Structure 1
Amino acid sequence: MADPTSLSPHRRRRGLLIVLSSPSGAGKSTISRMLLEADPNITISVSATTRPARPGEVDGIDYHFVDEAEFNRQIEADEFAEWAYVFDHLYGSPKEPIKEALKDGRDTLFDIDWQGTQQLEYAFRTDLVLIFILPPSMAELQRRLHQRGTDSEEIIAGRMRRAASEIGHWAEYDYVLINEDMSKCLDDVRAIIAAERLRRERQPYLLGFVRELVARPN
C-alpha cells in the first residue's frame, strides 16, 4: 500500500483515528503492537503521562513523561484531545499531532479506555473508528492477567473489578470483537481499517474527480 503522504494532495484521503479499547488483559496492547508492525501507514499516538518511566521506556517514543504541574498546564491550555486519570496517574493525547496526521492522510492508533474515547468523540467523531475488544470469558481474562506475571494479586483483583465496568461501555463502539484467537482478531481489525479507509467521506478528492470524469468528452 502506498504511503498516503506520497500521493498528490488532489488524490489524498483524510486520515483515520483508530481507537482500540478493552479491559486490561483482553489483548488490545498486543493487537496494537501487531497492527503497527503489519501496517507502516499507522502510527501510535504518543500520550503524555505523569507516571514514572518503566525500564526500557524512552521519553517521546513510548510516552511523553511529564510531572503533574506540566500536565495540568497542558490541560489549562487545551492542548489535549483527551485525558483521563487511570490507575493513579494522568494520561493524555496531545491535540496538534492528531490534527496534522488527519490533514496529511496518516492514520493514528489510540490504545485508550472508554473515558478517553468519549472525549475524542467530542472533538473528532467523523474521523474516528471505534473498536472494542472483549475477552472470551472473565475466567480467561483473569488467566491472561496472571500469565503476564507483571502484577500482584491485589492489582489483578483491581483490574478484574474495573473490567466489569469497562465492558459495560461496549455498545458505545462501532465494532465489537471477541478475542478468542489473537491472529483472527488482528485480521478482523485490519479488515475494519481497510473498509473504513475506503469510505466516501474519507476521500474528499472524489467530488472533483467525478466532475472532471463526466465532463471529459468521449
Structure 2
Amino acid sequence: MKKITIAIDGFSSCGKSTMAKDLAREIGYIYIDSGAMYRAVTLYSMENGIFTAEGIDTEKLKKQINSIRISFQLNPETGRPDTYLNGINVEKKIRTMEVSSRVSPIAALDFVREAMVAQQQEMGKAKGIVMDGRDIGTTVFPDAELKIFVTASPEIRAQRRYDELKAKGEEAGFDEILENVKQRDYIDQNREVSPLRKADDALLLDNSHMTISQQKEWLAEQFEKVCKS
C-alpha cells in the first residue's frame, strides 16, 4: 500500500492530537504534533526572558529561533511520542495552562512559523506521517493526500480541556478555560500568517457529539478510501 501524508487541522482542544496519535499508531505511520512545537517555543520563551512586562521581545527571539530544535521520541510506557526541546523532554511542561495562555501570540509570529514549518517539512519528506495543527493542510503540506478539518463547539472543547487538567490533578476553572479557548480561536483565525482555515479539499469532521470509537471508525474509512484510490 502506498504511503501518504495525512494533515489534520482544526480548533484547539478538539482532540486532534489524540486522534492523530491513535491513527498513526494503528496504521504504522509517524506522528508529528505541530502544536507541541509551538508550545515548546513558548516554553523556551518563558524560560529565556523573552516574555517581558511590555510583551514579547521579538528581536531576542528572532536571534535565537534557529537554535531552537524540536524533536519527538516514542515513550515506551505510553506508546506515544514525547516532545523534546533541544534534547530535553518537555512533554509535561508544555501542557500547562500557563503555556496554553501564551502560545497563540508566539505562534502568530511570522519568523516562528517559518522556522517551524521548515522543521515540519523536513520531518515529512519521506511520507507515511500524520501531522496535526492549524495550517498543515493549507501551508505545511498543501499536497497532502488526506486532509481533515476538525471542529466542535467552544463549550464542549472547554469541558474536554477542563476534564483533562482535572484528571492530571491540576487546578483549573471552567470559565477561564472557555475564555482561553475563545481567545485562541480568535487569534488563530485572524493572524496574518497562515490563519486557521479549512483547506478547500479537506474533509470536515464535527466531533461535538462523537465518541472516540466513532471517530476512529470514520478516520479509518477515509484512510482506506484514499489509499485504494
Tell me the TM-score normalised to structure 1 length: 0.57
| Cα pair distance change 1:33/1:198, threshold 3 Å | same
- Structure 2 Cα separation of the partners of residues 97 and 169 of structure 1: 23
The count of aligned residue pairs is 155
- Structure 1 Cα separation of the partners of residues 18 and 164 of structure 2: 12
Counterpart position of 2:224: 194
Counterpart position of 2:41: 50
RMSD of the TM alignment (CA)?
3.3
**What is the aligned counterpart of 2:149 among 132, 136, 154?**
132
Percent pairwise identity: 15
| Cα pair distance change 1:16/1:174, threshold 3 Å | same
State the secondary structure of the residue aligned to 2:143.
helix
- Structure 2 Cα separation of the partners of residues 60 and 147 of structure 1: 26
After superposition, residues 30-179 of structure 1 pair within 5 angstroms as 30-40=18-28, 42-45=29-32, 48=37, 49-52=40-43, 60-61=72-73, 62-66=82-86, 86-88=104-106, 90=112, 92-93=116-117, 94=119, 95-99=121-125, 101-102=126-127, 107-114=128-135, 116-121=136-141, 125-135=142-152, 137-149=153-165, 154=176, 156-163=178-185, 166=189, 169-170=197-198, 172-179=200-207
- Structure 2 Cα separation of the partners of residues 156 and 139 of structure 1: 6
* Alpha-carbon shift at residue 178 of structure 1 (Å): 1.4
Q: 1:105-149 CA deviation, whole Å, 9 max, x = no partner?
A: xx20111113x432224xxx33342101111x3322222222222
**What is the aligned counterpart of 1:28 among 4, 13, 16?**
16
Unaligned runs of 5+ in 2: 45-69, 74-81, 88-102, 190-194
Unaligned runs of 5+ in 1: 5-12, 68-84, 200-218
| Cα pair distance change 1:155/1:88, threshold 3 Å | farther
| Cα pair distance change 1:147/1:17, threshold 3 Å | same
Is the CA contact (8 Å cut-off) linking 1:46 and 1:64 kept in structure 2? Answer: no
* Alpha-carbon shift at residue 31 of structure 1 (Å): 1.0
- Structure 2 Cα separation of the partners of residues 184 and 87 of structure 1: 34
More deviation in 138-147 or 150-159?
150-159
